[in-house]
Structure 1
Amino acid sequence: MDFWPEFLASSWGKEFVAGGLGGTAGIVAGYPLDTLRIRQQNSRTGSAFSILRHVVASEGPCALYRGMAAPLASVFLQNAMAFQTYAILSRAFSTNSTGGNPPSYKGVALGGFGTGAIQSLVLSPVELVKIRLQLQGKINENKSQSGSDKGPIHVARNIIRIEGWRGIYRGLTITVLRDAPAHGVYFWTYEYMREQLHPGCRKTGKETFRTMLFAGGLAGVASWIFCYPLDVMKTRIQAQQESSPTKYKGIADCFIRSVKEEGYSVLWRGLGTAVARAFLVNGAIFTAYETALRFINNNHEAIQTENSI
């Protein structure tokens, strides 16, 4: 009976719940743009607008949300663990985070790096299933098929049945290479920008909603620009199936063949869509996270005050 109040009273519990709510807000806010990004990365031609028009006309508006169930089902736990892991690691790597002081910027960057590497173990299979679902219409069109997989569980089972357990972790290495440094940039940019926009807020936690939105949006943009070429390679590696006519032998082979066939511009294909999505999604994530954290803290203080009277 007392588990939930005690859980929320701990810093672990507060950051866990706030991180989960932030991640959920981010998925809901930016999923259609994520679908466009994936389609752009896995195609040779087409602007975001032309792909959007084609998808809506041939598959319907709901196609933009295809595959959302997979990340939505895991995002609460995934982001809750990510923010909690970040909180622990950023303090562990800092030397000045005691006595109410926020973690140092070095601790923030290293904590983000470690968080990205750890969460890749969960994120890689989820993104693999999501990408297969997002490209479902395109794959069926190429095969002249009208059928499609029913949902994330069906897709995951098919991958395991056809490709084995190794198949469900296709792209794990490049996911780690993408996410570890990108998360270091992500959290460092957020902490730095919120302090610049609202001096002293890292210690007081009293920044405005505008600061949360803007700092979170910039953090997302910075991290995506930093890791984008790797994300393009990851999409192409995870999109291929056992039945694909051409298969990449690895990250280097994917990079060399993609650049040779389509030029270096392929490494940045869909960047505009990704940046627009990153600003929207990460502004929502950090705003929801900080707001939930503030609400939980205020609620806990109110309960303590009532109990002391």
Structure 2
Amino acid sequence: MNSIVESPVYRSTKAIIKQESNSSFISGGVAGAVSRTVVSPFERAKILLQLQGPGSQHAYNGMFSTIFKMYADEGWRGLFRGNLLNCVRIFPYSAIQYSVFEKCKELLRRRDPGRTETYGSERLIAGSVGGIVSVALTYPLDLVRARITIQTASLKKLNKGKLADAPGVWRTLKHVYLHEGGIRGLYRGLYATTLGVAPYVAINFSLYEKMRDYMDQHKEVHDFSNPLWKLSAGALSSFVGGVLIYPLDVLRKRYQVASMAGGELGFQYKSVTHALVTIFTTEGFFGAYKGLTANLYKIVPSMAVSWFCYDTLKEAINKW
């Protein structure tokens, strides 16, 4: 056993695995931060559209009109409100997601010694695990970002029609911790978030890798060297995943801010099932898809850029 551990082949294999994990972590973090900054205005517009409850006079209507109103009310800073915190959150979130995804695939492949290919079901499992772990480790920052994102918005039930000063990160964390249940308050909506993120990451990651494998296997027949092919694959995979699980994304954001303004934003839910039934019955089918257009404007280019940055940077790190 000691001879195996000390062998050059073992040490070389271990070094490669370690380098692969490090490159996935770094590449994933950078890719997440870059991609989210690019689409920050769409991200905030999506959240504002999601949080307009039933029966309210909507201040925001449509994705581009929402972005214009954000700019008119708050200037260019309004377009990127919460983005710095989002980048602070998204770097470890994305880094953990990608690296756990790669590690899970590796562990699943080890069941069959010598096998190098990854099955579709294994990619779905790895993506789900990556989504769950990344959410669990970074969730309080996601909750705080959602709070900061809407604090200065024109939601009348939130601030009586007056634009509020943007709260700080620590101030928001302290308020939630002291007044909304301590640690449990910081993780309000975690279950609903996990229900949405896990299948989204699973679909997105597995579909993208399936398309990337196809391109790699057919290089001799078609020229897939143009970066637009990878950008298109990332865009399509995020589009499919985003549409399929979008109602759960609406639910996630509402859970995170439901207790703001004394619960007067228009929604209070007893459970995930109760929330979904309430949204569909009181706001109709399209109520569960509020902000979908803005979300697609966000996630499609975001994941296209993210996957392109991830693959390019990871390849460069591994070569270096």
TM-score, structure 2 normalization:
0.82
Q: SS of the residue aligned with 1:127?
A: helix
Q: Which moved more, 1:288-297 or 1:59-68?
A: 59-68
Instruction: Specify the alignment match of 1:303 in structure 2.
Output: none
**Equivalent residue of 1:93, what SS?**
helix
**Which residue of the other structure, out of 263, 271, 277, is the alignment partner of 1:256?**
277
- Is 2:230 aligned against 1:215? no
> Counterparts of 1:1-309 in structure 2 under 5 Å?
10-44=19-53, 45=58, 46-94=61-109, 101-138=116-153, 141-142=156-157, 143-144=159-160, 145-163=162-180, 164-199=182-217, 208-241=226-259, 243-245=262-264, 247-299=268-320
- Going from structure 1 to structure 2, the CA distance change for 1:212 and 1:35 (only over 3 Å counts) comes to same
Secondary structure (helix, strand or coil) at the match of 1:170 reads coil
Is contact 2:152–2:164 with CA below 8 Å preserved after alignment?
no
1: distance between equivalents of 2:276 and 2:27? Answer: 38
Partner of 1:307: none
Higher deviation after alignment, 211-220 or 32-41: 211-220
CA shift, 1:96, in A, is 8.3
How far 1:141 moved relative to its partner? Answer: 4.3
Specify the code of the residue in structure 2 equivalent to 1:155: T
Deviations 1:84-115 (A, max 9, x none): 11011112223688658342222211110111
Q: Is the Cα–Cα contact under 8 Å of residues 52 and 155 in structure 2 kept in the other structure? A: no
Do the aligned partners of 2:204 and 2:240 also contact (CA within 8 Å) in 1?
yes
Unaligned runs of 5+ in 1: 1-5, 300-309
Percent identity of equivalent pairs:
22
State how many pairs are aligned. 290
Cα offsets for 1:65-87 (capped at 9, x unmatched) = 11112221132222222111101
Structure 1 residues 96 and 280, CA gap change in structure 2 (3 angstroms): farther
User: 1:212–1:286: 8 Å Cα contact kept in structure 2?
Assistant: yes
Q: 1:8 to 1:95 in 2, by over 3 A?
A: closer
1:202-241 Cα offsets, whole Å, 9 max, x none, are: xxxx954222211111121121112101111111111212
Whole-angstrom CA distance in 1 between matches of 2:319 and 2:244: 36
Contact kept? 1:198, 1:211, Cα under 8 Å:
no
Deviation at 1:254, TM superposition (A): 2.1
Shift of 1:140: 6.7
TM-score, normalised on structure 1?
Answer: 0.85
Q: Distance in 1 between matches of 2:235 and 2:155?
A: 35
User: Would the aligned equivalents of 1:149 and 1:155 in 2 still touch at CA under 8 Å?
Assistant: no
Cα 1:110–1:292, aligned 2, differ >3 Å: closer, same or farther? same
CA distance in 2 between counterparts of 1:183 and 1:97 reads 25
Residue aligning to 1:304: none
